[in-house]
Structure 1
Amino acid sequence: MRALFDERQWLHDPKHFMANGTRLANPEQPRRIEVLKQGAEAAGCRFETPEDHGMGPIAALHSAEYLVFLQTIHERWQRIEGAADEVIPNIHPDRRTASYPRSAVGQAGFHQADTSCPIASGTWEAAYWSAQSAVQGADLIAAGEGGAYVLSRPPGHHAFGDLAGGFCFLNNAAIAAERLMRAGKRPAILDVDVHHGNGTQGIFYERGDVLTVSIHADPVRFYPFFWGHGHERGEGAGRGFNLNLPLVRGTGDDDYLKTLETALDHIRAFGADVLIVALGLDAYEKDPLKGLAVTTPGFSRIGAAIARLSLPTLLVQEGGYLSDELGQNLTGFLTGFQDA
């Protein structure tokens, strides 16, 4: 299987995030690249460097205001007396329609949903090339490739059109879906990350040209809390084109696979001719951000079930944090997918 990755994606090296009022080491570490790359290569992936497709595919979904913020905020932040190296917000508006401030502190609060997406000197460049890798992957699928893997890091599915969050800055899977839609395809996005893809849902929530489906730990007591509930079906033209399938914490392989069949039935009914999988591996039973209990063999079964849709499929990396089995879980998923 062909795979995409750019070395500049190493440049994002977040140090901290806040959880339960405590400052902790950020789990979205650059070393994930090394482990995931080895796991993909063990499944036969051949990595290529993406071309630079420019800002157009990114700006098709992310506002110019937000993109200027991502490109300039770290330099502006350093002018604040006593500021830390990483841009981390400490104040947020009560609504997205609130006035837009001129200050760096205010804009950080407007464009960063939480404290898990710190911005440092290399963040923009890494996020840009993570997105370019997804664009290149979409182009491979549009050109007739049956499947491709994108090692998108930093990940993307918590990023809205003008809002970072949950380790994410640019929504790689959504950018790929938009690219494919503009190439004349009918894309569906299937998110199998343990956390709901709230940014992806938000981007397409009022649209009916892209189906969004997410299987995740029930957000009633789990990040992202405010999105991902079963009653969220889309609005306006998007009514009925968003499907959330929340699972009880600790759900294992068999029940996960049953829920996956429901997701695949909706993708068939939508008439998708191409699939983007937001490939989180953090549903793993030993993942540091514990939510579900999928085993290593379970990931192989999930990959095989998705492959049986027989759709050209772009696999875009999302979560999956450092554990002894992270690379093995990716190898299992990719092997199951390819063998089926």
Structure 2
Amino acid sequence: MKAFFTDEQLLHDPQQFMRLGRISKPADLPTRAHALRDALAARDIELVQPRDYGRAPLEGVHSVDYLDYLETAYALWRALKLPGVEPGIEVLPNLSPYHGGTPGVLRAPCPSPSIVARTGYYISDLSCPIGPHTWRSVLRSAHTAVAAADAVLDSGDAAYALCRPSGHHAHRDRAGGFCYVNNSAAAAQRLRERHGRVAVLDLDAHHGDGTQNIFYARDDVLTVSTHADPSGYYPFYTGYAHERGSGAGEGCNLNLLLPHGAGNELFLQAVDQGLAALRGFAPKALVLALGFDSYKDDPISVLRLDLDAYRRIGEKIGALGLPTVIVQEGGYMVEAIGSALDHFLRGFEALR
């Protein structure tokens, strides 16, 4: 299996994370990528550096004004000159403008040129600080997913994208939940250039709200997300069973909710439901958005999977036999995510 990563993805080094009204230690640390890289090396899987694709692959899933914002936000923030106020060390919003838009439909660009206004418009929460190297890291993380998709298009087999920062909470024009650009969506869009039907299966503790939003009105990409009940868990506002898509995409979105505290068996039952929907859709290729924040000891999880669950998930995905791009999403217990990836790959490759 080919795997893709570049050290430029380590440049994003957030200093702040607001949780329950407290500035907390950031969860998306560069050491996450170190642990995953070590797990691949132990399996003799070489990491290939993706080529620089520029912004073009992202413009199929994100608005141009949003990408412009991400690319320029830090420099504009540091250039702010307000009387008696020094800008913070990272770009963070202090506004939350109401948005009642339709999923799958782009908002108009931010009506104000102010970097303060644009930050409130394009960043949905306080988990997505933008530092001096954030744009380069998130761009190269997306390139990792695109390179994996290209490898799958060439081989018809599988490839792994060690994406960090993650992406499945990034909407067309909004960052959130440690995610700035949607790596899984970029990979799906890349596969879609050749294949008529593509599926995204999101197996993370959190709902893949950004991915759902991007494809919600399309019938060429099936989105399935298995996640903890969002009524008491991030992202709170989406991820419910009644959300089935709109317009041409009606019926092409499926959310499978799990009670908080669910362990292996309930999660695997939900995976089976998702795979049944996938088989009915009959995609020609698959993007697996794979998170390990469902692990029982993860610091922000409400699910209780053990390592063997990831091996069994790997077996189920491997048995599909589909061209598959595996995109890394969450997982914040650095001591466990390498073992989780190893167990997944052991199961995946056994039935491939």
Structure 1 equivalent of residue 3 of structure 2: 3
Structure 1 equivalent of residue 79 of structure 2: 79
**1:201-255 Cα shifts (integer Å, max 9, x gaps):** 0000010100000000000100000010111000111100000001001111111
Report runs of 4+ in structure 1 exceeding 6 Å deviation. none
**1:100-156 Cα shifts (integer Å, max 9, x gaps):** 221111100000010001000000000000001111111111112411110010000
Counterparts of 2:283 and 2:119 in 1: how far apart (Å)? 37
How far is 1:185 from its partner? 4.5
Counterparts of 1:170 and 1:192 in 2: how far apart (Å)? 18
Counterparts of 1:190 and 1:44 in 2: how far apart (Å)? 26
Structure 2 equivalent of residue 42 of structure 1: 42
CA contact (8 A) 2:35 2:335 kept: no
Structure 1 equivalent of residue 51 of structure 2: 51
**1:161-204 Cα shifts (integer Å, max 9, x gaps):** 11000000110000010011012342100000100000000000
CA contact (8 A) 2:35 2:334 kept: no
Letter in 2 for 1:178: Q
**1:43-70 Cα shifts (integer Å, max 9, x gaps):** 3422101112222111111111011100
Q: Which moved more, 1:320-329 or 1:223-232?
A: 320-329
Structure 2 equivalent of residue 299 of structure 1: 310
**1:280-328 Cα shifts (integer Å, max 9, x gaps):** 0111000011221110111101111111111111100000013422210
Letter in 1 for 2:164: R
CA contact (8 A) 2:195 2:285 kept: no
Counterparts of 1:25 and 1:2 in 2: how far apart (Å)? 33
CA contact (8 A) 1:185 1:274 kept: no
CA contact (8 A) 1:43 1:335 kept: no
How far is 1:7 from its partner? 1.2
What is the RMSD of the two structures over their aligned residues, measured on CA atoms?
1.2
Task: Say whether 1:236 aligns with 2:231.
Answer: no
Structure 2 equivalent of residue 103 of structure 1: 114
Counterparts of 2:202 and 2:146 in 1: how far apart (Å)? 18
Structure 2 equivalent of residue 195 of structure 1: 206
List aligned pairs for 1:160-239, cutoff 5 A.
160-239=171-250
Structure 2 equivalent of residue 62 of structure 1: 62
Letter in 2 for 1:86: E
2:66 partner SS: helix
* TM-score normalised by length of structure 1: 0.98
Q: Alignment length, in residue pairs?
A: 340
Counterparts of 1:324 and 1:318 in 2: how far apart (Å)? 16
Letter in 1 for 2:91: V
2:23 partner SS: strand
**Structure 1 stretches lacking a partner, 5+ long:** none
Among the aligned pairs, what percent are the same residue? 43
**1:78-100 Cα shifts (integer Å, max 9, x gaps):** 12241111101010111155862
List aligned pairs for 1:230-269, cutoff 5 A.
230-269=241-280
Counterparts of 1:66 and 1:305 in 2: how far apart (Å)? 37
Q: Which moved more, 1:180-189 or 1:283-292?
A: 180-189
Letter in 1 for 2:267: Y
Letter in 2 for 1:209: D
Counterparts of 1:308 and 1:194 in 2: how far apart (Å)? 23
Structure 1 equivalent of residue 33 of structure 2: 33
Letter in 2 for 1:10: L
CA contact (8 A) 1:89 1:105 kept: yes
Counterparts of 2:90 and 2:55 in 1: how far apart (Å)? 24
Counterparts of 2:183 and 2:349 in 1: how far apart (Å)? 22
Letter in 1 for 2:244: R
Counterparts of 1:42 and 1:219 in 2: how far apart (Å)? 36
Structure 2 equivalent of residue 337 of structure 1: 348
